[in-house]
Amino acid sequence: METHQPLPGLRTLDVAQIGAALALEARREQLGNPGRDRLITARKDAVHALGLRGAAGQVLEKLCACYGGELIKGDIIVWPGNRWLVTSTCLDERTIRRAIQRLIRLGLVIPKDSPRRYRYCVRGPGGEIQDAFGFILSPLIQRHAEFAGTVLRQEQERKQRAVLDDEISRHRIAVKVALNAALPYDLQDRTAALSTELAALERQIPRRGRPGAREPIAQALAELRSRSELLFYELTKLLEDQSNDTKMSGSAGHDVRHLEKPTENSIEDYKAAAEEAGGAICGPPQTAQREVETAIDAENGGRAKPSRPAPDQTASLALAIEACPAIEDAGLRHQTVRGFVEAAYLLRGWFGASPDAWREGVKTLGELPTALLAVYVYQLSSDRVVAQGALDRAVRTDNFGGLFRSLIRKTANGQFSLQTALLKMRHKRMT
């Protein structure tokens, strides 16, 4: 703002002061005779529209409070002294002078100085006020429509920001819920990329109520929410289709090979077969095993099935359930081979094994032997929690995730027999 440096003892001349005086003179006839309430309303709108804070807002409020409701020579003029302003605002005189100078530069106040720069009124013989020297507040009334329009626009922008903030929060929470729900079923770690994308968007979200670009972020979160929920649906739908008792025939337009109901894949059938053979069965029946392998091949997209361990290295499901009652306490569904594998994958996360360890076991041993190892290690971790410090002699570390990966590699190399370990665990519980 351009100003003119005054001579010693004179007030600074401001360009805004001249502009406000010219605009007021041009529209003086439209000013009318405003009351005190209208002036206070105009002052409030000016404060909100211009963002006046601190001393300038307090001084303007006290100046408007001095108006008695009568025009003097067609203008709203007030003449409070600095001592009264200091008392009423609790500000020092220097701060009040700076605040008045700011109001003048904003064009809200026009100074009307007396020859000696005193503030007072001139009364006639009958006591009526004929003239006054102080501050002209008429620009507040003249610019009231401008201030009211600005306040209305700011309120609309504030409401729009609030709506976008709520939309961003809703989509962000929905994405987190979908990713957390899909995580237990994500064997290929497909949720990691979506989580990274969500973290990048969260860093761009402006603070609530503050200015900032919100529409692109809201659109990106809505699209990310759609992809996250679709991923959760695909993962759960795949497991649901694999665990159904019967498979529907292929629909038109879809070339999909469906599986028939496995007739001998229930745990009860395994238990009965094991009792008839005197406990000599080391794995599931051949028919059920073929069905499980077919399901694994379909899940792997027709790729070659992973290698399987020797028969004496695979323990039966019946023996695993009898030796590891912790899976019953967990309340997970495991009445079929697929259900048992899904329950074991969930238990894998409970004792700290990573999805990478599970994928290594599936690739090296197969899905079912990996699930049996996971249940065995989970039982060891549960016993550790119950014992509060008493570890099995075969377990020499509290890192059960590392133990799980180590047992996978030892089983693949023939250095560990899960059937023998389960027999020892069952015998220990029976005695």
User: At 4, phi and psi to the nearest 5?
Assistant: -110, 125
Residue 118, token pair as written in the block = 């005193």
Q: Is residue 361 part of a domain?
A: yes
Kindly report the number of other CB atoms within 10 A of residue 304's CB atom.
7
Q: State which H helix or E strand residue 133 sits in.
A: strand 129-136
Q: What pLDDT is stored for residue 99 in this prediction?
A: 92
Q: Is residue 363 part of a domain?
A: yes
Q: Are residues 97 and 163 in the same domain?
A: no
Q: Is residue 89 part of a domain?
A: yes
Q: State which H helix or E strand residue 228 sits in.
A: helix 215-243
Q: What pLDDT is stored for residue 264 in this prediction?
A: 40
Last-in-domain residue among 88, 116, 142: 142
Q: Is residue 251 part of a domain?
A: no
Q: Are residues 42 and 188 in the same domain?
A: no
State the average pLDDT for the chain. 76
Q: Is residue 249 part of a domain?
A: no
- Model confidence pLDDT, tens digit, residues 323-366: 888 877 776 656 677 888 888 888 888 888 888 888 998 998 88
Q: What pLDDT is stored for residue 271 in this prediction?
A: 45
* Of the candidate ranges 88-92, 99-103, 283-287, 300-304, the one whose mean pLDDT is the lowest: 283-287
Does the pLDDT of residue 404 top 50, yes or no?
yes
Residue 11, token pair as written in the block = 């007030």
CA gyration radius for the chain?
41
Q: Are residues 201 and 159 in the same domain?
A: yes
Does the pLDDT of residue 88 top 50, yes or no?
yes
Give the total number of structural domains in the chain: 3
Does the pLDDT of residue 94 top 90, yes or no?
yes
- Model confidence pLDDT, tens digit, residues 48-75: 988 888 899 999 999 998 888 888 888 8
Q: Is residue 216 part of a domain?
A: yes
**Which pLDDT band holds residue 169 (cuts at 50, 70, 90)?**
very high
Nearest one of 20, 78, 85, 93 to 58, comparing CA atoms: 85
Helix (H, G, I), strand (E, B) or coil at 132: strand
Q: Are residues 43 and 133 in the same domain?
A: yes
Q: Are residues 133 and 172 in the same domain?
A: no
Q: Is 273 left (phi over 0), alpha (psi -120 to 50) or beta?
A: alpha
Q: Are residues 416 and 372 in the same domain?
A: yes
Across 110-135, average pLDDT: 86
Q: Are residues 10 and 114 in the same domain?
A: yes
**Which pLDDT band holds residue 256 (cuts at 50, 70, 90)?**
very low
Q: What pLDDT is stored for residue 417 in this prediction?
A: 86
Q: What pLDDT is stored for residue 17 in this prediction?
A: 62
Q: Are residues 387 and 293 in the same domain?
A: yes
Kindly report the number of other CB atoms within 10 A of residue 194's CB atom.
19
Q: Are residues 129 and 160 in the same domain?
A: no
Q: Are residues 273 and 395 in the same domain?
A: yes
Q: What pLDDT is stored for residue 8 in this prediction?
A: 46
Q: Are residues 290 and 233 in the same domain?
A: no
Q: Is residue 149 part of a domain?
A: no
Q: What pLDDT is stored for residue 20 in this prediction?
A: 67
More confident residue, 331 or 169: 169
Across 195-222, average pLDDT: 89
How far apart are alpha carbons 422 and 280 in whole angstroms?
A: 14
Nearest one of 327, 306, 426 to 370, comparing CA atoms: 306
Helix (H, G, I), strand (E, B) or coil at 263: coil
Domain with 193, as residue range(s), is 155-243
Helix (H, G, I), strand (E, B) or coil at 128: coil
Does the pLDDT of residue 307 top 60, yes or no?
no
Does the pLDDT of residue 300 top 50, yes or no?
no
Does the pLDDT of residue 2 top 80, yes or no?
no
Q: What pLDDT is stored for residue 427 in this prediction?
A: 77
More confident residue, 55 or 142: 55
CA distances from 81 to 138, 198, 335, 343 (A): 19, 60, 90, 83
Q: What pairing do the DSSP bridges indicate for beta strands 3-4 and 13-14?
A: antiparallel
Q: Are residues 331 and 271 in the same domain?
A: yes
Does the pLDDT of residue 284 top 70, yes or no?
no
Q: Is residue 58 part of a domain?
A: yes
How far apart are alpha carbons 270 and 199 in whole angstroms?
A: 47
Does the pLDDT of residue 41 top 60, yes or no?
yes
